[in-house]
């Protein structure tokens, strides 16, 4: 089944199948290319179009519903070739003789891409023609091997040449590509060769394939893989840029709005107070997206886009190309400027807002500490990020936590103190938390109770009593929120195994309060403790709680 196309010739509609239209279109374009150099050439080309229309009209009157490729072949044979028409017009009117041009009669050679013998962009076949070769297959094999040994470096050179070298579309350009003298005779021959080639390709679709054996078939496969690899790279870059745009857009949405608590909730939360830089970050990411997406769209459309028979062969408006180039150039200029400005603004922002009492943290870490009622008393010889994420042993998600890591890969042990305060009334209370120590050493916990002259200091380590999830039955864990939060009884065994595999431990301490006041739980390593071999260089704390477990008065 063939697709039919409706065309309009001088106000009359004709139905023509797709193959016939392609052959006719190429024939008319070659005719127009040839006669365009003659005085009155446009009129001659128009006369040819009228003769085609007359033949179509006769076929329609004979009851032909759709014009086929055989009809078009017969019409071309009846009209004749350009050389015959040229001789006729030369005999009747000397004014139609083609005027001399700089290229006429010379063997001038120019570099073009060969569109008639291409597997990707026609660059290699164009180079082959320019240097006098007739068979582009060895050139392609050598180029592909060079691409492999250069780790695809030459492929980028190919893309640049594809963009810069024009394609030989007219008969004159194809002659110049081969270094053949351009004159009336060679032009006629090239035009008719093009018509015969187009006709053979349409009559026998297998002739369209450039395959000449196993080597060329392998080249086709490898080039297709290169296309797909390049497209995958472009798509990946575009998706990454799009993610940055979405993420930066979240910074301009106030906390608590639509996206708060969603997949971008952490980004929205981190954006609080970034009024001086968030719009610059968004502008930078948009520039990044467009710089990647526009070339990606043009390249993918050129590689895999379907051709429209009605627009094929028409040159893209120079104004449109200049517009695309201007847009890309503008974003290429704006991108580094916005990056520099964002970096400067963010650096100034951090210098002004991230330091409290001589302690510097990244901008969102202070807010996170405040929201979790944690007070930072001291921090030395440690990284400036104390908010972190880690696998939650109770579920398949991550959880936010207090993360402390020393500098220089553990050579300098962190000195720190974080306090958690709570207003308490007389009764029984419990301190509980989850902790993970990466180097199997220890840290300190100190509990200060109102009315007590001495604080309790305990050690968090692998040797601590009842510090594993597996030490607790489900009945015991059910009353300990840090252990059993959102965990069903039937899942408790799996949670215990998961916690042990991740080296998460549980700490609890029960204490009595005799008078109202503030109870303080401190997580710390002081200078003296760091002198001992017990001090840890990297540890995480999570779910730090002070819970009232009984209101009974304590004697």
Q: What is the rounded CA–CA span in Å between residue 97 and residue 83?
A: 12
Q: Which residues contact 427 (CB under 8 A, 6 or more apart)?
A: 512, 513, 548, 549, 550, 551, 552, 553, 554
pLDDT, position 350: 52
What was the pLDDT predicted at 298? 66
pLDDT for the residue 232:
76
The fold of the 363-550 domain, in CATH, is: Jelly Rolls (2.60.120)
For the chain, 555 residues long, the average pLDDT of each consecutive 10-residue run is 77 82 77 68 77 85 84 76 48 42 57 81 86 81 76 73 82 80 66 64 51 55 70 74 68 48 47 55 68 67 55 53 64 65 60 74 84 93 89 86 82 91 92 90 92 86 75 89 86 91 90 92 93 89 92 71
- Distances in Å between the alpha carbon of 283 and those of 196, 238, 239, 246, 271? 55, 16, 17, 11, 15
Q: Are 104 and 123 in contact (CB under 8 A)?
A: no
Q: Following CA atoms 128, 131, 134, 137 in sequence, which dihedral angle do they give, to the nearest 10 degrees?
A: -30
**Are 433 and 480 contacting, i.e. CB atoms less than 8 angstroms apart?**
no
Q: What are the start and end residues of each CATH 2.60.120.260 domain in the chain?
A: 363-550
Q: Contact 423/447 with Cβ under 8 angstroms?
A: no
Packed helices 363-371 and 318-353: angle between N→C axes, nearest 10 degrees: 60
| pLDDT for 201 | 57
pLDDT of residue 258: 42
Coil, helix or strand at residue 63: coil
What is the enclosing helix (H) or strand (E) of 233? helix 214-250
Give the pLDDT score at 52.
Answer: 84
Return the number of other C-beta atoms located less than 10 Å from residue 264's C-beta. 19
Q: Give the 3-state secondary structure of residue 421.
A: strand
CA distance 161 to 124: 10
Position 260 scores a pLDDT of 43
Q: How far is CA 213 from CA 210, 218, 219, in A?
A: 9, 9, 10
* Contact between residue 166 and residue 112 where contact means Cβ atoms under 8 Å apart: yes
**What pLDDT score does 74 carry?**
79
Closest alpha carbon to 222 in 118, 119, 124, 122: 119
Give the 3-state secondary structure of residue 118.
Answer: coil
In whole angstroms, give the CA distance from residue 548 to residue 431: 9
The residue whose two tokens read 């040159």 is 315
Sign of the Cα pseudo-torsion (155, 159, 164, 166, in order)? positive
The pLDDT score that the predictor gives to residue 324 is 61
Q: How far is CA 152 from CA 107, 222, 229, 230, 295, in A?
A: 36, 12, 11, 10, 19
């Amino acid at each position: 089944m063939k697709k039919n196309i409706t065309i309009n010739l001088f106000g009359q509609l004709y139905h023509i199948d797709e193959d016939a239209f392609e052959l006719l279109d190429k024939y008319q374009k070659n005719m127009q290319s040839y006669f365009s150099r003659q005085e009155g050439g446009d009129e001659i080309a128009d006369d040819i179009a009228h003769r085609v229309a007359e033949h179509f009209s006769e076929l329609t009157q004979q009851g032909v519903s759709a014009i086929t490729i055989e009809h078009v072949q017969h019409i071309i044979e009846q009209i004749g070739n350009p050389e015959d028409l040229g001789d006729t017009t030369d005999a009747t009117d000397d004014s139609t003789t083609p005027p001399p041009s700089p290229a006429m009669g010379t063997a001038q050679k120019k570099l073009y891409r060969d569109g008639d013998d291409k597997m990707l962009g026609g660059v290699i076949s164009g180079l082959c023609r320019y240097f006098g070769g007739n068979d582009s297959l060895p050139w392609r094999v050598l180029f592909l091997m060079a691409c492999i040994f250069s780790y695809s470096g030459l492929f980028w050179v190919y893309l640049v040449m594809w963009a810069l070298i024009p394609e030989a579309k007219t008969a004159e350009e194809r002659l110049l590509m081969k270094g053949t003298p351009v004159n009336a005779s060679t032009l006629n021959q090239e035009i008719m060769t093009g018509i015969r080639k187009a006709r053979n390709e349409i009559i026998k679709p297998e002739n369209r394939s450039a395959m000449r054996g196993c080597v060329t078939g392998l080249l086709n496969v490898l080039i297709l893989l290169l296309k797909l690899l390049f497209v995958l790279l472009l798509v990946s870059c575009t998706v990454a840029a799009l993610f940055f745009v979405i993420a930066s857009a979240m910074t301009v949405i106030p906390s608590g709005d639509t996206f708060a608590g969603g997949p971008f909730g952490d980004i929205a939360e981190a954006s609080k107070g970034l009024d001086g830089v968030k719009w610059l970050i968004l502008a930078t990411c948009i520039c990044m997206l467009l710089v990647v997406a526009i070339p990606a769209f043009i390249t993918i459309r050129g590689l895999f886009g379907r051709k429209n028979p009605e627009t094929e062969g028409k040159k893209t408006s120079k104004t449109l190309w200049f517009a695309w180039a201007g847009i890309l150039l503008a974003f290429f200029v704006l991108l580094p400027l916005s990056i520099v400005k964002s970096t400067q603004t963010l650096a100034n922002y951090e210098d002004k807002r991230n330091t409290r009492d001589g302690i510097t943290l990244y901008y969102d870490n202070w807010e996170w500490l405040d929201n979790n009622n944690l007070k930072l008393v001291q921090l030395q010889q440690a990284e400036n990020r104390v908010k972190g994420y880690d696998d939650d042993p109770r579920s398949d998600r991550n959880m936010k936590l207090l993360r402390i890591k020393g500098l220089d890969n553990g050579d300098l042990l962190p000195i720190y103190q974080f306090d958690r305060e709570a207003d308490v009334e007389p009764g029984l209370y419990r301190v509980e938390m989850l902790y993970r120590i990466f180097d199997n050493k220890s840290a300190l916990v100190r509990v200060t109770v109102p009315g007590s002259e001495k604080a309790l200091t305990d050690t968090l380590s692998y040797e601590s009593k009842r510090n594993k999830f597996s030490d607790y039955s489900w009945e015991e864990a059910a009353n300990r929120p840090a252990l059993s939060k959102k965990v069903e009884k039937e899942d408790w065994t799996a949670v215990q195994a998961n916690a042990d595999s991740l080296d998460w431990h549980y700490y609890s301490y029960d204490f009595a309060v005799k008078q109202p006041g503030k109870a303080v739980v401190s997580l710390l390593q002081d200078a003296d403790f760091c002198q001992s071999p017990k001090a840890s260089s990297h540890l995480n704390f999570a779910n730090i709680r002070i819970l009232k477990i009984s209101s009974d008065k304590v004697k």
